[in-house]
Structure 1
């Protein structure tokens, strides 16, 4: 399991590398739990001043591992339980921890973090990139959240409005379309756009520049910005949107006895 995510520390920078390129770095439960443990490891390491999240392969992340969800009914049943007996409680609690909870936790790690994004960053992939303080994108990066096709109003960490602005957020969700790197930079979601073959070098350069700063000052600067968006209502909105997300699961269950309206193969065709 260890090799699906790589971890290294050099020159005060911890680099976490998603390493499931054949699956487009899709996320199943063990993958997410390992990723969270590595975020915690970097956060607690006094030698680490900056955290970099990047991915091997042509794509940053295709999001939740839907192929696993469909193929492994036993795993799905263990996560969700019997809906007729418990309702959505088990699924709600699992997603609250692994999706909303992990993303919030990574967002609040008191060290600067940088996401390096290339290729597709789809749905659950956004929940890995958005919690990072800075995003550097390759010029081939595309960001999307097509889960409206599945009967859901958006991924569990619903930061779309904060990242894109209300109208662009609605456009992304309503059309299930993608936003390219140049547009994302104009909207302020992405800090820099570079050629794909320069992505890691640019991120390393930025990480080293930040690592030279006093760590306490970095932590205070991050806290000041984060608490400002908290006061503006971001955390309350994220929680409210997560609860709305659960209504999507409830609606799908009523209609087809499954937590979404469209499976992986149907989504690929769409």
Structure 2
């Protein structure tokens, strides 16, 4: 059992649970490595037919841990005599994006159950899942598009909600509710929070009644359609490149400097205050 991801097996369903609820399951290198390994092991296990991905606590995933990530960028730039190296940065952030992509590329159906905040890097992860069910408390959005980032795989947004809606939410960083996500087609179902995990497991178990070889053939066939329509690999490459660029624009550097001066929480408040949402929501 890892520190960031817990693994359980329920019949033919492998359940992977983000288990740092006190930290809102924020993304760390440890989470990346544990999730990547767990997905690889589940895909190789002939007994596993479906992968269920969920989280403990009030938030599914509140994005990248800005404590370590802003510190890392600040320290890197203080150490380096060279200017920002986009290729080195691509390898770094690409290692995260490639891990999340396993949820899409997997030959076995992946089902995600989301409650509470699933924002910023959290959407980078969960929008790769084949099926998403949400609790009524779920909230989605990509606030770093206002400064210091863009989604690592923009194709996921277009595939889930259509081009115009993707533009609307990516260009503003605005949040949207579970009900809005359902109306746009970004999630499959919305249920009361206290029914979410039972509902998701029931769906996963229902799918797992189908023979594993059938499920893999269907998943490969559907993934081929998505890959042809949206070219996920090219989208990830461009998304991660521009994500790096966004972190090294003047505004991005100012955000890191502000985070070092007053703490990342206050820097985020400064970013979101004009929009009046997320932690700055007005009553």
TM-score normalized with structure 2 length:
0.85
Q: 1:219 aligns with which of 216, 220, 223?
A: 216
Contact 2:8 2:16 in 1 (8 A): yes
**1:177 to 2:174 alignment:** yes
Deviation at 1:106, TM superposition (A): 2.5
The residue aligned with 2:151 is 155
The residue aligned with 2:281 is none
Q: 1:116 aligns with which of 80, 95, 113?
A: 113
TM-score normalized with structure 1 length:
0.89
Deviation at 1:238, TM superposition (A): 3.3
Q: Which moved more, 1:218-227 or 1:83-92?
A: 83-92
The residue aligned with 1:138 is 135
Deviation at 1:70, TM superposition (A): 3.6
Partner Cα distance (1:254, 1:57) in 2: 30
Contact 1:248 1:260 in 2 (8 A): no
Residue 132 of structure 2 aligns to a residue whose secondary structure is strand
Deviation at 1:67, TM superposition (A): 1.6
Q: 2:200 aligns with which of 184, 203, 206?
A: 203
User: Do the aligned partners of residues 254 and 30 (structure 1) sit closer, same or farther apart at CA in structure 2, a change above 3 Å counting?
Assistant: closer
Cα deviation digits, residues 222-245 of structure 1 (max 9, x gap): 111111121113323333333332
The residue aligned with 2:42 is 42
Residue 248 of structure 2 aligns to a residue whose secondary structure is helix
The residue aligned with 1:84 is 82
Moved over 3 A (4+): 70-74, 252-264
User: Do the aligned partners of residues 255 and 29 (structure 1) sit closer, same or farther apart at CA in structure 2, a change above 3 Å counting?
Assistant: closer
User: Do the aligned partners of residues 83 and 210 (structure 1) sit closer, same or farther apart at CA in structure 2, a change above 3 Å counting?
Assistant: farther
The residue aligned with 1:246 is 244
Contact 1:81 1:91 in 2 (8 A): no
User: Do the aligned partners of residues 31 and 182 (structure 1) sit closer, same or farther apart at CA in structure 2, a change above 3 Å counting?
Assistant: same
Deviation at 1:175, TM superposition (A): 2.3
Partner Cα distance (1:232, 1:71) in 2: 38
Which runs of no fewer than 5 residues in structure 1 stay unpaired?
none
Contact 1:151 1:260 in 2 (8 A): no
Contact 2:13 2:48 in 1 (8 A): yes
Contact 1:63 1:124 in 2 (8 A): yes
Deviation at 1:72, TM superposition (A): 5.8
Which runs of no fewer than 5 residues in structure 2 stay unpaired?
273-283
Contact 1:252 1:261 in 2 (8 A): no
Residue 128 of structure 2 aligns to a residue whose secondary structure is coil
Partner Cα distance (1:184, 1:257) in 2: 29
Contact 1:118 1:139 in 2 (8 A): yes
The 5 A counterparts of 1:5-24 are: 5-24=5-24
Contact 2:259 2:267 in 1 (8 A): no
The residue aligned with 1:165 is 162
Residue 57 of structure 2 aligns to a residue whose secondary structure is coil
Cα deviation digits, residues 127-151 of structure 1 (max 9, x gap): 2211111001001111110112224
RMSD: 2.6
Partner Cα distance (1:88, 1:257) in 2: 19
Give the total of aligned pairs.
266
